[in-house]
Copies of this chain bind each other. A is one copy, B any other.
Amino acid sequence: MPRMSQDAPTFSPLYRQIKALITQALEAGEWRPGQVIPSEQELAVRFGVSQGTVRKAIDEMAAENLLVRKQGKGTYVASHNDPRALFRFLRLVPLDGDLSHPTSVPLDCWRAKAGQEASRMLAIEPGAPIIIVRRLLQFALKPVVIDEIYLSGETFQGLTAEVLQSWNGSLYSLFETRFGLRMIRAQERIRAVAADRNASEALKVAEGTPLLSVERVTYTYGDKPVEWRRGLYSTAEHFYLNELN
């Protein structure tokens, strides 16, 4: 039973150190999204701690949606390919209870250099290459969200309009499968704005219609920002649902 560093001013309990080790392994790609990780007992042996300590580490990671426990089967690496993950970041719900899945329609995809704002949001150098994606989100064939998505050109090399076109699934599942980038958490800043010319055409609403402006920064491991997007949501037939706990 290794005590590790337990008395420094930066005290951290054993299970958190184990958590960090598991996270590192995850980050290094030792186990891929959707796969099982070793059993608690195996991990306990590997790290030289008791099974209960591994358990507590995994408990926290499951609460953070990094891992998924399945009784009798094992513990799995969370994946955006899992259909249940779709609405984790998309909080838009139809006014009537219609639960049809949204469709992503890529409109455009081009390269540019990071300006002030993009460089700050993505924590990259101003002038660094970025990729900008415009896409429409449809619910039951009706346009509801128009998104403008900024990505670091460095980490998303090879992302083109064709790749987007040919992908059937969520954007984040593409990022995960194709670029090995797992979106862990996000922060959204919501304001109300009037539809400009572009938005009104894309969303088929009158110019000046109030829309939700949703700015999102999405982070991967180590709180590293990897995506910045701004979405304009038409709330004629949908609303943004938020649970406060």
- With a cutoff of 8 Å between Cβ atoms, the chain B residues found around residue A233 in the complex are 192
Bound: A168/B216 CA distance, A: 35
Contact of A244 among B188, B208, B212, B245 (CB under 8 A): B188
| Oligomeric state, in copies | 2
Q: Is A240 among interface residues, defined by CB-CB distance under 8 A?
A: yes
Contact of A191 among B193, B239, B245 (CB under 8 A): B239
Interface residues on A, range: 20 to 34
Flag A184-228 by CB within 8 Å of B: 1 or 0 each.
Answer: 011111111110000000000000101110001000000000000
- With a cutoff of 8 Å between Cβ atoms, the chain B residues found around residue A154 in the complex are none
Q: A64-B245, A65-B245, A245-B65 are in contact. Are A212 and B192 (CB under 8 A)?
A: yes
A227 to chain B, nearest CB (A): 12
Q: Is A53 among interface residues, defined by CB-CB distance under 8 A?
A: no
Bound: A89/B192 CA distance, A: 19
Whether the Cβ atoms of B187 and A241 lie closer than 8 Å is yes
Q: Is A88 among interface residues, defined by CB-CB distance under 8 A?
A: yes
Whether the Cβ atoms of A235 and B192 lie closer than 8 Å is yes
Q: A210-B210, A211-B210 are in contact. Are A188 and B241 (CB under 8 A)?
A: yes
Bound: A235/B189 CA distance, A: 10
- With a cutoff of 8 Å between Cβ atoms, the chain B residues found around residue A185 in the complex are 243-245
Binding site for B on A (CB under 8 A): 63-65, 88-89, 91, 93, 185-194, 208, 210-212, 216, 233, 235, 239-245
> 27 A-B pairs, CB-CB below 8 angstroms?
A63-B63, A88-B244, A89-B244, A91-B242, A185-B243, A185-B244, A185-B245, A187-B244, A188-B241, A188-B244, A189-B241, A190-B212, A190-B235, A190-B239, A190-B242, A191-B212, A191-B240, A192-B192, A192-B193, A192-B211, A192-B233, A192-B235, A193-B210, A193-B235, A208-B208, A210-B211, A242-B242
